[in-house]
Every structure is written in structure tokens, then in C-alpha cells.
Amino acid sequence: MPPSQFFEFSSYHIAVTFIGFIIILASWLPRIFSKREPAAAPLMIIFGAAAALLFPDFPSLPDPRRNPLPWELVSELAVIIALFGAGLRIDKLKPWSRWFPTLRLLCIAMPLTILAIAFAGTIITGLTVAGAILLGAVLSPTDPVLAGDVQVGPPQEGAEHPVRFTLTTEATLNDGLAFPFVYLGLVVAAQGFNPGAWFVEWMVWDVFYRIIVGVIAGSLGGRALGYLLFTVPKGALLADTGSGVVAFASVILCYGSTEIVEGYGFIAVAVMGLTLRRIEEHHPFHRRLHDFSVAIEHTITALLLVALGTVIPALFIDLSWNHILLALILIIVVRPLSAWVSLGGSSLDRKSRAIVSVYGVRGIGSIYCLCYAGSHMEFANETQIWSLVALVILLSTIMHGFTVGWAMDTLGADDKNSESG
């Protein structure tokens, strides 16, 4: 029987080939010019969109507006691993004063951002109140993966610059803290803008209970994982094997169990990473586990970015100048201004405040939050919201990717000058 009888061109194999080529090209090309990788993220999106436009027969991926579940599950896994890895990178929690800029960003800049986006969304693009709240919630968290170049280095590397520490801890915690506002959008969509009917329950349940449960579950999970890795059985410790599989299993166990009791799993895995890092701080396993988690999160993120690029032509069909204006307002005005105001009076100098204010890249977390909301409730403006979120991610990664290297080099040069002086 001739082999050709079993062979045919498969759209799946064509898609896999294109995706692999795009990821390699996007990762390699920036190094020719700058020897840096941040520009890889926007290039993956752009090349994915180009492939979809240039090759009409390119295998189509599920439209996230009509079939959000695959996008939700894959982006969820990416965020889980990224948040745990971000927590693991923080070598020192003390002095507690170094957290003050982070707390200002989370408690002042984040609510201001949500409020400003929601207000602008209703005025500029005519979103409903529920849709505007959802848009603000979805676009408020910064991305722990795409912002890797402005974050602290791997465990045990030391030299955690205040700017890097602030951006890392902000990205570690704000995905989970955005969820009360995602739920607020869902509540308003279901019950209308009538705070008297739902405000108390939302505050007690979605804000306080879920956050507290997430923190407790993450702390307990980190301690339990540390015990399994570094304490028992003596003479045959799991940490000595260097395998990250058990740790990965523990992370998803912590996330899933937290969600079962209706806590915020994203907060739990972030706290789990922070807690585990305090146990046997100098053990080399922390670095190996970090490298393992980074490899997973970067792989999944690359696939998601290319996939986002392939559906962007469809998402941008309904794009208008009002959407572009709103996206630019968020990136150029809302995030920088709200962060700058919130950091007033902090320990950061003006240049550090400016860098922290500008570099709040949006990415995979926004995709997950929107998919989650879309799978639980049908929003009247969902098509507009998807167009806006995709545009903000694209513009944010472009502006971040092509300028962050210069900003970090400038900051590093200032540090060296101050040390030599």
C-alpha cells in the first residue's frame, strides 16, 4: 500500500509550522538590532496578524468572543505560573517600607485607573455601565510575563532596585486584586447599577472574603510545599532532585483548592511563591524552580501572543477612531498619571517614579479576565470591549518592548554613577 495514501496536507501541521517559525523569528530578529528580547512580544502579535492577512487559508483559531473557553483555560495557566514565579523572585520582603510604593499603586493608582477607564469608556465609546466597569477591571492589571525586563532578576541574584521591586510586586498582586472589579461588572450586568441592592454583599464577599482566603491559602500552601521539598523524607529530599514537577503540581493544587472555597486563586499562588521563597532561602532549588516556571510561562505566553495576532484582524473589524483614542488615553495618560499621583511622597525619586508610571504593560491577564467574564455573562458591548483590549495589548507591548531597554539602561547608568560618586 503506497505511503501517500496515508499522507495529506493537514491544516493543523501548517498552523504548527507557522507558529514555530513566527516565535523563532520574533525572538531572533530584535537581537540583530538591540541584543534584547522585549520587542519579541509585539512582533509575535504582528507576525501572527500578518500570517492571517497574507494567507487567507491560514487555519483559524477559535474566536474568543464566541468561544472564550480555550482562551480562558490557556491564559489562566499562563497567569498562574507567572504569578507564582514572580513571587519566587522576591529575595527580601523587608524592610517593609520598600512595599509602600507598591501599596500606593495597588490601593490608589489601580482604583483610579479603573474609574478613569470606565468613565472614558462610557463617554468616548458609549459603553454601558457594566461594560465600562468590566473594561476598567480587565485593563487595570499589569502583566507579570511581558514586564519581565523591568522586574527583579531570578532568586538569589540580589540587587533588587526599588523600581524593579515595585513593578514586580505590583504585577504579582494586581491580577488577583482586579477580580473584585470583574465581579462588580458581572453584578451590574445582572442586577443593574443599583448599589443599594448589591454593594454590601460585593464588599463582604468579593472584596474581603475572597482576598483573605487567597492570602491564607497561599501562605499555607507555600509552607506545605516547603515542608515537602526541604524537610521530609530526610536523606531523600525532593528539592535535591531538582525537579519542578511536584512544585508545579502543588501550585495548581493550591490554585484549584482556593477557587473551590471561592477565594482568589491568583492571590493564593502569588502568596505561595512569596512564602516558599522564605524557606531554605539559600538552597539552589529556588533558582532551578524559577527557571522551570519561566520556561513554562514564556512558552505558553508566546503561543497566546501568536494566537492573539491571528485573530486580531477579526477583532479589529469593528475598530473605530474612538476606540483608538481611548486606548491611547489609557496608555499615555491614565496609567502614567494615576501612578505618578499615587507615588507622590514615596521614597522613589522623580526618574524612578516616571519609569514605574510608564511601564505598566497589559497582556495575558487582561485576556483571561475578559474571557472569564464573557463565559459567565453576555455583555451588550462585548465586541467593542474585545477590540479595545486587543488594541491596548498590541500598543502596550509595542511601546513597552521598543523603549524599556533604554529606560532600564538609563536607570542602571544612574545607579553606577551614584555608586562611583
DSSP string, 32-53: HHTS-STTHHHHHHHHHHHHHH
Give the pLDDT of residue 95. Answer: 86
The whole-angstrom separation of Cα 188 and Cα 150 is: 36
User: Is 108 within 8 Å of 333 (Cβ atoms)?
Assistant: no
Model pLDDT, residue 152: 84
State how far the Cα of 84 lies from the Cα of 86, in Å rounded to an integer: 5
Q: In 3D, which of 309, 218, 203, 200 has the Cα closest to residue 257? A: 218
In the chain, which stretches have pLDDT less than 50? 417-421
Q: Are 336 and 357 in contact (CB under 8 A)?
A: yes
DSSP summary character for residue 97: G
Distance CA 389, CA 33 (A): 29
pLDDT, tens digit, 9 for 90 and up, residues 95-119: 888 999 999 999 999 999 999 999 9
Element (H, E) at 410: helix 382-420
Contacts of 376 (CB under 8 A, 6+ apart): 186
Let me know if 279 is exposed, middle or buried by CB neighbors in 10 A (0-12, 13-18, 19+).
Answer: middle
Q: Helix 265-277 crosses helix 245-260 at what angle (to 10 degrees)?
A: 140
Instruction: With beta carbons less than 8 A apart as the criterion, state whether 86 and 173 touch.
Output: no
Question: Which secondary structure element, helix H or strand E, spans residue 409, and what is its range?
Answer: helix 382-420
Q: How high is the pLDDT of residue 175? A: 93
First to last CA, the chain: 79
Name the CA radius of gyration of the chain, rounded: 22
pLDDT the model gives residue 415:
52
Q: What is the pTM of this model?
A: 0.93
- What pLDDT sits at residue 148? 67
Can you read off the three cell numbers belonging to residue 345? 511622597
Answer whether 93's CB lies under 8 Å from 278's CB.
yes
Residues 168 and 89: beta-carbon distance below 8 Å: yes
Q: Distances from the Cα of 181 to the Cαs of 56, 134, 143, 210, in angstroms? A: 38, 7, 17, 12
Is 100 exposed, middle or buried (CB count within 10 Å of its CB: 0-12, 13-18, 19+)?
middle
CATH numeric code, 62-420? 1.20.1530.20
Question: Would you state the pLDDT for residue 419?
Answer: 43
* Closest by CA position to 343, among listed 107, 50, 164: 107
Query: What's the CA gap between 263 and 283, in Å, rounded?
Result: 31
Given this model, what pLDDT does residue 58 score? 72
- Can you give the pLDDT at residue 403? 79
Coil, strand or helix at 61: coil
The pLDDT score that the predictor gives to residue 421 is 43
Q: How many CB atoms lie within 10 A of CB 206?
A: 21
Model pLDDT, residue 412: 61
